[in-house]
Amino acid sequence: MNLIAAIEWAEGYHRRGLYSPIGVTFHWVMAALMVFQLAHGWYLGWQPVGGDKYIGYQTHTQVGLTIMLLGTLRLCWHSQISGPDTVDEASLTGKASRLLQSWFYVSFFALPISGWVMWSTLPSDLPLSIAGLIPFPNLPFDQLSEGLQHRLMQWAASAHYWIVWITALLIPGHAGAAVLHHLIKRDRVLPSMFDLNGPASPGVVGSAPDKGPVA
């Protein structure tokens, strides 16, 4: 399946007010990685200084870089297709949803980049990679003075700290809003994230072939 065919296939879902399996996969994989990162970062913060903690931060940084790559792919994918009409974007709810989505995209990039900056200020020979597969270089901070490296570490750590807390507070709000839509507004926001059966109407791209009337 080439890109054009994949877009047409996904649009078949969107015309029914559903998210395509590609969009749903992006959502749940990245949600799982973000929750893991929040829990793992909290865990590392309580660990004593030593080799295990150092390797743990290497893993933490590499998972963050993986999230950044997935966020880039997801952003490219969303730039090619129109999403399903599950919320009135002109309403207060729609504007809040758009703002929340924009923040999550900011966190997909700001958290890994700030983590990358922090890791690059550490005197380490441990290599970085994306998902353990794609080598990723450190920033060339070893050429800077120790004082400047220390300030970069502090700035990155402060940014990382606040973005983590804001994101951690918004995730329950995001989940709660989806449940609110389902229980009170009775719309398709939450079901659209689980319904992967695809368009059932003949003639809609992505639907099963029309077999004609049943005798």
Instruction: Please report, for the domain that includes residue 41, its CATH number.
Output: 1.20.950
**Considering the domain boundaries, does residue 89 fall inside one?**
no
Contacts of range 82-88, beta carbons closer than 8 Å, 24 or more positions apart? 82/11, 82/14, 83/14, 83/19, 83/23, 84/13, 84/14, 84/15, 84/16, 84/17, 84/18, 84/19, 84/188, 84/192, 85/14, 85/17, 86/17, 86/187, 86/188, 86/189, 86/192, 87/181, 87/187, 87/189
Distances in whole angstroms, Cα of residue 201 to Cα of each of 91, 204, 208? 29, 6, 8
The count of structural domains within the chain is 1
Say if 119 falls within a structural domain: yes
Residue 26 covered by a domain: yes
- Global pTM? 0.81
Report CA-CA distances (Å) from 215 to 61, 97, 109, 110, 141. 61, 47, 56, 59, 74
Q: How confident is the model at residue 210 (pLDDT cuts 50, 70, 90)?
A: very low
User: Is 133 part of any domain?
Assistant: yes
Angle formed by the axes of helices 21-45 and 51-80, to 10°? 160
Structural domain includes residue 207: no
Range of the domain at 183: 3-83+97-193
Listed ranges 39-43, 183-187, 189-193; the one with the highest mean pLDDT: 39-43
What would the mean pLDDT of 146-160 be, rounded to a whole number? 94
- Asked whether residue 202 is assigned to any structural domain, the reply reads no
The reply to whether 212 falls in a domain is: no
Mean pLDDT of the chain: 81
H or E element in which residue 135 lies: strand 134-136
Let me know if residue 90 belongs to a domain: no
